[in-house]
Structure 1
Amino acid sequence: MRLAFAVAAAGAVAQIAGPLIGVVDAAPPAAFTALPLLIALALLPPVVATAFAVGGRPIVGAAVLVGSALLAPGRVLGDLQFLLDPLVVSRPEITVPTSLAPLRAGAGLWPLLIGHLLVIAAGVLAANRAGAPYGTPYAAELDDEVRQRSAPLGLVAGIAAAFGLQLSPFTSGNAFLLAEGLIDSPWLLRFALLVAGAGVVAAALVGAGSRPSVARGVSLGAALGVLAITAPQIAAALWVPLLDAAPGPYVALVCAAGLAVSVWVTTRAHGKADPLRVAGALGLLAGLAGIAAATTTVIAVNGVAQETYSNRLFLPAGILVAALSIPLLFRASAAPVRPAFAAALAAIPLAGMSTLDAMVTATAVDATVGTGAAVWFTGAAGVLAAAAAVTALVAGSAERGEPEERPLDLVLVAPLAVAGLLAVGAFGLPVVKAKGLVPPGIWTEFRLASLGLLLAVLTIVVAVALTPVSRPHRAGALLLGCAGLVGVRVLEYPLTAARAAGSVPGPGLWLALACAGALVVAGLMVLSRR
């Protein structure tokens, strides 16, 4: 075990040494100052693993090294492409070619490859659990645990993360910087993507059938491995001119985080875990990150912050999610509030996609436009909200237990149908109308912000569809949470109407007000029928 941690630390040092020495010989510089990011990504797995070991959870620490090692073979194959032809490697954190002149690998490639191999060796050493002396924390943790049941949600998250890794890392307007996914990549990079995806799926399979500590550590280590691959891609899309964000890295990262969260909240290591408290903590952090995104800079021109309206919706969204997160931290109020909390979480991507849409549009127009801290808070809020949603759904599944036969409540069908139809119009039609203003929509002008609108509509439609056959006290809370989500949409008009001269309320505002009222009435009707 000690040797495994030492080898992992040596691997991190070697991965840092590679870019310092130079992966490509006499190459053009990197597109941005990526060395601090690369150092942090290399150090994270051994530091996290050591922290668990020092904290008395050595099996979790060892499993973190195993999970990180599962992604290393794909990274080895990807970096070997520098040896064949550096021109076709889309790694702006290393170098950005400025011509078609041939490039060759530098001396730093060998420490980088050795670092990956040391990470694999550390994983192999950490996976060997034989010979733990009796009385050590390692043996005690191993003896106290039993194998867990399968976690289907983790398997789905792992497969989705693997799919995200196969997509393009970003979109490129630079002819010398390719942005190719699985289909268009050279053969070696194609195998690298497939092997990396297989590593994530393997981590999900381990999480579905191993001891709790092993499952938790492997899923966390795999998430750190996915972070090491996707973080430079996301940073390049945000900071490098002529590059724009693509969904692949975000899908991979969010789903890998979902894999880790689902495994952690569905396992039982020492004592009974409380997923509702975990969901409450994640939701509170998501709400605070949303409030921070609403009060910080989205874009700046030559370093000067610009006034924006797209992130203002984060203020009511963050307050709503944070307010509903607090009851989840207390056992007496957690279960009744959980459905409302789960529905309200859709307000975070509703505001977040609007913010990212404005950022992507502005940075694509002019190279002097840069991003501010609000973009980072937006990403953090989205990841935390996704993790909170997964945790809340897992908690709800565990709470339901055995399925029950419930008769269809026909009295509720009419008001619920009205609420669902009004929701489609509330999010599909503009809230603000003005001459020359073209807001995003669902049927027309489908943009990045439209994804948030679509998710909100789906949340409400699913909620009203499930209400007649759900437990009344949970269904009522779910509808009231949906009413809060629609309320965030209503507040878009007073918060953003000043973005266009002569703005007036659009049909979406009146439909949103009617939808919120219908949801409140339906929710109270459901609660009154307890």
Structure 2
Amino acid sequence: MTRTELENQTPAAARLRISWALAAAGGLLLAIGPLLGVVDGAEPAYTSWPLLAALALLPPAVAGVLLFRGRPFVAAGLIAAVGVFAVGRLLSDLQLVFAPMSVARPELFRPTTLVAVTPSAGLWVLLAGHVLVIAGGVLSSGRAGMPADDSEPVTLMGFPLLISAVAAVGLLGKPFTSTDAFQLDRSPWDLPALGLTGGLLVALAAPLATALAASSPDPDTREGGTYGVTLALLALVVPWLAAGTVAPGLGISSGPMLVLISALTLPAVPLIARLVRLVRGKRDETRDPALPSLRRMHVIAGVLFVLSAVATIAGGLLPQLVLTTGGKAPDLASANLLWPAGIAVAVLGVLLLLPSSAAVVRPALFGGYAALQLAAAGATAPVVAASQAGIAQPGAGFWLMTAELPIGLLALVLVALAGAVERESTEAGKREQLPVAELGALLLAGLFAAGAFALPTVRGDNYTGPTLVPDADAGMSWGLLVFFVLFLSILVTAVRSTPARGAAWLVGGALLVGVRALELPLTGGGVAGAVAAPGTWLALAGVAALLVAAGLMGARATR
């Protein structure tokens, strides 16, 4: 049912708008509560209120967009699913009133002594927010009282239930690991009766809300319920993961990782299945409704890529760290890689907005997005290290840099869909044999890039840059391995593509390898006695070989 049809049903329209208003007001209170502070006598383990505010406001924001864009009952399903989780969250937060020292909520407060903390005004605001979210969920349940006018046979109900069951198991585990005697890593099983009840209800909400949505014959309810479960799960576990990442003495446990994977997998299952069918040229007319036009997907993806690039550039210019003493932290040289990568992706995003260049530059965005993540990975490592040491906390630049990841990922999905649609509507031509000159340039590019990722790019006094061989920074070594595998996939895709698309793929690969080439000039200032290591020269040679191969492919495409 569209928005116009909804307006003809006055009671349902009023009920749905009221439910959204309640959910939006509840989300606003959930954002304000942590900002005011929920207890007296302790501070959060990290600067959590921007993250908590974003997670609290995201469900009503998405529901509002759906409601006013003609998808009212998708919005209703989303609000109802979030309301199911709010019941358990209300009881869990109510435990803070009676025994705040018994709970493990570092995003709200972290005890530093054995002196008990006391509830403050922010806690009551937080509880009121949960009540409003529950009320909104109740009003929006059952399509806001409107019978379904469309029905589809229920399919694949078992798979979403299995994913949500995994999430429930994760919610019952420890939210993080802790070596701090004052900050205990308590799971729901270790809490008093009220906290235990709330934790069990939160865990039960995942399969319950998923089952209610997946079993509905109404496709809008199924879609909205899936979105609601995903957003509710993210609101629960992202603060735990952030605490385990940046708070000193805390670490990430397996439970939140299970929940995160489940939350991201749940809405992706139908999208991935749809994309696979499109790529294989087996589009199902009954299950795959008409996609937006190719032009619209290009425009939306271009705007998202520009936004992602702007967030990255701003992240490189704003402080990445804030000292725990309140003073100004020194600038991190590793953040200097963010702005050139952001500028490159911004240029590609703008070109994607232009009808004359969109199809040409689209493949390059895969490599450009990977380059953005490689630059962000290098900037993340020192922030995490400083946070774990208790020296500083992530600053505004770090959070902006983090925000680009989901924005760019969504744009990448749209780009992949646009490419699949274009291939579906274009007759596949006979694959041409790769000329010897292009093959030689590609082989050289692969060899040079292997050395660029395997060998250090910077050496200094008692310092060697990260390589594929794990050492003191094993996480960065594994990251380099992942990016090298991505680079190889770009090369393979370029070889299998038409000359014009292959050239664009290689330009994207050059952007990825170029991040390694820029490490010395942009980050070497933070290393005493920094000199170019073999990886820098190999990265420069790899970029040159990739651009030569791209030029040869582009020239062949114009013949």
Match of 2:179 in 1: 173
Match of 2:485 in 1: 458
Task: Say yes or no: does 1:424 pair with 2:450.
Answer: yes
- 1:175 partner letter: A
Task: Say yes or no: does 1:372 pair with 2:395.
Answer: yes
Give the Cα–Cα distance (whole angstroms) in 1 for the partners of residues 214 and 44 of structure 2: 37
Match of 1:389 in 2: 412
Structure 2: where are the runs of 5+ without partners?
1-11, 275-287
- 1:424 partner letter: A
* Maintained 8 Å contact 2:301/2:412: yes
Displacement of 1:479 after TM fit? 1.2
Greater CA drift, 504-513 or 187-196: 187-196
Of the three residues 327, 330, 344, the one matched with 2:354 is 330
Give the Cα–Cα distance (whole angstroms) in 1 for the partners of residues 72 and 549 of structure 2: 51
Give the Cα–Cα distance (whole angstroms) in 2 for the partners of residues 312 and 408 of structure 1: 42
Q: Measured at CA, do residues 19 and 195 of structure 1 come closer, stay the same or move farther in structure 2, by a change above 3 Å?
A: farther
Q: Measured at CA, do residues 225 and 442 of structure 1 come closer, stay the same or move farther in structure 2, by a change above 3 Å?
A: same
Displacement of 1:228 after TM fit? 2.5
Give the Cα–Cα distance (whole angstroms) in 1 for the partners of residues 356 and 163 of structure 2: 31
User: TM-score normalised to the size of structure 1?
Assistant: 0.76
Query: 1:31-89: CA deviations, max 9, x gaps?
Result: 26867865665455346535654565433432331342354466467558769986553
Give the Cα–Cα distance (whole angstroms) in 2 for the partners of residues 321 and 155 of structure 1: 38
Q: Measured at CA, do residues 97 and 237 of structure 1 come closer, stay the same or move farther in structure 2, by a change above 3 Å?
A: same
Greater CA drift, 417-426 or 310-319: 417-426
Map 1:44-83 → 2, pairs under 5 A: 44-46=58-60, 48-50=62-64, 52-53=66-67, 57-69=71-83, 71-72=85-86, 75=89
Of the three residues 454, 474, 477, the one matched with 2:501 is 474
Displacement of 1:504 after TM fit? 1.4
Of the three residues 466, 479, 495, the one matched with 1:440 is 466
Q: Measured at CA, do residues 218 and 282 of structure 1 come closer, stay the same or move farther in structure 2, by a change above 3 Å?
A: farther
Give the Cα–Cα distance (whole angstroms) in 1 for the partners of residues 123 and 268 of structure 2: 34
Q: Measured at CA, do residues 392 and 430 of structure 1 come closer, stay the same or move farther in structure 2, by a change above 3 Å?
A: same
Give the Cα–Cα distance (whole angstroms) in 1 for the partners of residues 118 and 318 of structure 2: 43
* Maintained 8 Å contact 1:349/1:452: no
Map 1:263-282 → 2, pairs under 5 A: 272=293, 274-282=296-304
Give the Cα–Cα distance (whole angstroms) in 2 for the partners of residues 349 and 457 of structure 1: 13
Task: Say yes or no: does 1:225 pair with 2:232.
Answer: yes
Match of 1:339 in 2: 363
Displacement of 1:338 after TM fit? 1.1
Query: 1:165-221: CA deviations, max 9, x gaps?
Result: 6886545332232346799999868756754654786699699x964x656644554
- 1:332 partner letter: S
Give the Cα–Cα distance (whole angstroms) in 2 for the partners of residues 157 and 467 of structure 1: 35
Match of 1:312 in 2: 336
Q: Measured at CA, do residues 310 and 254 of structure 1 come closer, stay the same or move farther in structure 2, by a change above 3 Å?
A: farther
Give the Cα–Cα distance (whole angstroms) in 2 for the partners of residues 52 and 364 of structure 1: 40
Indicate the SS of the match to 1:332: coil
Displacement of 1:25 after TM fit? 11
Indicate the SS of the match to 1:433: strand
Give the Cα–Cα distance (whole angstroms) in 1 for the partners of residues 212 and 293 of structure 2: 23
Displacement of 1:493 after TM fit? 1.4
* Maintained 8 Å contact 1:350/1:455: no
Q: Measured at CA, do residues 491 and 271 of structure 1 come closer, stay the same or move farther in structure 2, by a change above 3 Å?
A: closer
Displacement of 1:268 after TM fit? 5.9
Give the Cα–Cα distance (whole angstroms) in 2 for the partners of residues 365 and 491 of structure 1: 28
Query: 1:134-162: CA deviations, max 9, x gaps?
Result: xxxxx9xx78x999999xxx999999988
Greater CA drift, 501-510 or 227-236: 227-236
- 2:298 partner letter: L
Aligned residues: 516
Give the Cα–Cα distance (whole angstroms) in 1 for the partners of residues 460 and 355 of structure 2: 48
* Maintained 8 Å contact 2:23/2:132: yes
Q: Measured at CA, do residues 237 and 191 of structure 1 come closer, stay the same or move farther in structure 2, by a change above 3 Å?
A: same
Give the Cα–Cα distance (whole angstroms) in 1 for the partners of residues 50 and 445 of structure 2: 50
- 2:531 partner letter: V
Q: Measured at CA, do residues 37 and 432 of structure 1 come closer, stay the same or move farther in structure 2, by a change above 3 Å?
A: closer
Match of 2:526 in 1: 499
Structure 1: where are the runs of 5+ without partners?
134-138
Greater CA drift, 84-93 or 108-117: 108-117
RMSD of aligned residue pairs (Cα, Å): 5.1
Give the Cα–Cα distance (whole angstroms) in 2 for the partners of residues 90 and 50 of structure 1: 33
Map 1:119-268 → 2, pairs under 5 A: 119=133, 122-123=136-137, 125-129=139-143, 169-179=175-185, 191=200, 194-195=203-204, 198=207, 211=219, 217-218=224-225, 220-233=227-240, 236=243, 240-243=247-250
- 2:540 partner letter: L
Q: Measured at CA, do residues 107 and 497 of structure 1 come closer, stay the same or move farther in structure 2, by a change above 3 Å?
A: closer
Q: Measured at CA, do residues 109 and 358 of structure 1 come closer, stay the same or move farther in structure 2, by a change above 3 Å?
A: closer
Query: 1:339-371: CA deviations, max 9, x gaps?
Result: 11111101111111111101111233344x233
Give the Cα–Cα distance (whole angstroms) in 2 for the partners of residues 112 and 27 of structure 1: 15
Identity fraction in percent: 35
Q: Measured at CA, do residues 481 and 70 of structure 1 come closer, stay the same or move farther in structure 2, by a change above 3 Å?
A: farther
Q: Measured at CA, do residues 517 and 128 of structure 1 come closer, stay the same or move farther in structure 2, by a change above 3 Å?
A: same
Greater CA drift, 384-393 or 322-331: 384-393
Give the Cα–Cα distance (whole angstroms) in 2 for the partners of residues 57 and 31 of structure 1: 38
* Maintained 8 Å contact 2:246/2:384: no
User: TM-score normalised to the size of structure 2?
Assistant: 0.73
Give the Cα–Cα distance (whole angstroms) in 2 for the partners of residues 307 and 109 of structure 1: 36
- 2:525 partner letter: A
Displacement of 1:264 after TM fit? 9.2
Displacement of 1:321 after TM fit? 0.8
Give the Cα–Cα distance (whole angstroms) in 1 for the partners of residues 308 and 26 of structure 2: 35
Displacement of 1:126 after TM fit? 2.4
Of the three residues 313, 317, 323, the one matched with 1:291 is 313
* Maintained 8 Å contact 1:313/1:492: yes
Displacement of 1:526 after TM fit? 3.3
Displacement of 1:326 after TM fit? 1.0
Task: Say yes or no: does 1:517 pair with 2:541.
Answer: no
Displacement of 1:120 after TM fit? 5.1
